[in-house]
Structure 1
């Protein structure tokens, strides 16, 4: 029996909830074709589901499933990378499409990242989740669901890590409930003004590093502002202000003088904060997971706008004709949201 047929049998059992039987079929598929990453990823998914189901009733067994999921996902990533290298070599070094293999790599990184986080390796797990989201974004609209899953899992892990450490301060970081980022870049008439003066930074140590990172990030957002000024200036101004305010806050938080304040914030406990309005998709009213911009200048979460376009090929705000191919990733806004979420891991999202 071919590996493909065995995988299909496993998929049928998986869809019915027969995870142990599905694992058996996927294992047979691996024996039939040990080079294909799909069966490894499918087994990792089965162990992930078994681990989640056992977390409350049998933590030790759950941990075993998480560890096994991590091992299988690592093997899936190794197989996918090997096939990608072979395909690229055959194409004379050209990048090519290879969407299927890259999709398997993104899934493997996602499963392994989740497993690492659940096994106590939070930093490594979050790194893998970020890599998975990045790989999935490069796959286009077909991977929008995976991008959403990676992003939401990353936010959950940051929240869990903050709760465990008890170091997240209420409203800490850029924007607070949405006002800090806006004030940095709006003047009284609602237009944009120059970025905050950097004279308040010491030019050594953590402050200098944070300022350098902020200025690099601001260049991305400034490019968008220059091109899009006139139709969406206020949103990007707010987002750019958030990036710089976040860097200023990190520079202060990492300085030795800030240690007593950090200790006091931790002792005071943390309370969730609401996401700023500029970070919310106008369709779902949830924080953007993967923001994309339409020709009208309106920005939506990719999965939300794709679901809308499946019903009506129009911009839901301007009512202008709109195709999925016209959507452009909003890198500046994505970066600003990531900055805000890092500073506010307990945010209500």
Structure 2
């Protein structure tokens, strides 16, 4: 078959697959995309479309396979990186899954900052980061509890030895102080894993949610990009806090706040769940 005819036939099959997909006929959609791949195996979208069908059927092994093939053909495939991340998370490979989702988010923001994919990827990335934090936090908590128990046992043995030697009052006082100090040390060690209020300067003035993609206005107020865009398009072309006239072109990325948010989230993974 001539290349041009193969491509036109493959495109028709892709459209057929899309129609089947919208009707939740995923097996038929997979067959159509597979035929398209057979005709034109170097078109990334055929692989990502089929991966999306496998995702709907919870066949994560095939999602991973098709996503990797799409990325091999196009390293900048947003959907390829996104679904690879989801497939890796299903295998509880949190670090690699998060890395793929972060790349998908960066690519998505570059291609279409206001697109639905960016929001969807962020939601999945937040869940993944929170799951990763839960996993590591649970391990840290277990290790701290065991270490604290060992320290308390050692202090008790020391206290018992002093009692045997006849230093009853002194031993009791010292033991209590050491236990209190020990408690403070372990309480401090657990602080990073203890949920609290996110600092106001890291949150959007409109939604009060932690920033994802902060932008600053000429008046110096920082907002979440998608939120201020929505305000300017649906409410009016003015700053919602200062009421000064404002155009989208005047918004500048606030990299300082973005870095501060990333540093905060790195130390307080629980905040991904807020």
Shift of 1:122: 1.4
Quote the offset at 1:341 in angstroms: 1.4
Offset from partner CA, 1:239-262 (integer Å, 9 cap, x none): xxxxxxxxxxxxxxxxxxxxxx67
1:155–1:345 CA contact under 8 A, matched in 2 = no
Q: Which of 54, 74, 79 is the equivalent residue of 2:68?
A: 74
The CA deviation string for residues 41-100 of structure 1, in whole angstroms up to 9 with x for no partner, is 12222222332xxxxxxxxxxxxx12211111111111124xxxxxxxxxxxxxxxxxxx
Contact 1:132 1:150 in 2 (8 A): yes
8 Å CA contact retained: 1:296, 1:318: yes
Structure 1 position 326 matched with structure 2 position 250: yes
1:306 aligns with 2:229: yes
Long gaps (5+) in structure 1: 52-64, 82-101, 170-260
Q: Which residue, out of 112, 119, 133, partners 1:148? A: 119
Change (3 A) 1:286 1:18: farther
- Distance 1:9-1:271 versus aligned 2 partners, 3 A rule: farther
Shift of 1:276: 2.1
Please give the root-mean-square deviation of Cα atoms over the aligned residues, in Å.
2.9
Report if aligned partners of 2:114, 2:226 keep a CA contact under 8 Å in 1: no
Q: Tell me how far apart the structure 1 counterparts of residues 26 and 249 of structure 2 sit (CA, whole Å).
A: 38
Distance 1:9 1:326, change over 3 A: farther
**Residue aligning to 2:9:** 2
Aligned to 1:345: 269
Residues 1:320 and 1:28: Cα distance change in structure 2 (over 3 Å) = farther
Match of 1:246 in 2: none
Distance of 2:57 and 2:216 partners within structure 1: 38
- Equivalent position SS for 1:141: coil
Gaps of 5+ in 2: 1-7, 142-184
Match of 2:94 in 1: 122
* CA-to-aligned-CA distance 1:83-136 (integer Å, 9 cap, x gap): xxxxxxxxxxxxxxxxxxx4xx12211211121122122111122222222222
Superposed CA deviations along residues 311-330 of structure 1, whole A, max 9, x for unmatched, are 23333333334333332222
Q: Distance in 1 between matches of 2:266 and 2:19?
A: 40
**Structure 1 CA distance for aligned equivalents of residues 201 and 269 of structure 2:** 17
Where do residues 1-349 of structure 1 align in structure 2 (5 Å cutoff)? 2-51=9-58, 65-81=59-75, 102=76, 105-143=77-115, 145-165=116-136, 166-167=138-139, 271-311=194-234, 312-347=236-271, 348-349=273-274
Contact kept, 8 Å, 1:77 with 1:109, in 2: the verdict is yes
Residue pair 1:291, 1:334 contacting (<8 A) in 2 also: yes
TM-score (norm 2): 0.69
Normalised to the residue count of structure 1, the TM-score between the two structures is 0.56
Residues 162-182 of structure 1, C-alpha deviations (whole Å, 9 max, x = no match): 22330467xxxxxxxxxxxxx
In 2, are the aligned partners of 1:314 and 1:320 still within 8 Å (CA)? yes
Residues 73 and 108 of structure 1 are in contact (CA less than 8 Å); yes or no, is this contact kept in structure 2? Answer: yes
Q: In 2 relative to 1, CA 68–336 (structure 1 residues): closer, same or farther, beyond 3 Å?
A: same
Q: Separation in 2 of the partners of 1:134 and 1:10?
A: 28
- CA distance 1:13–1:345, change in 2 (3 Å): same
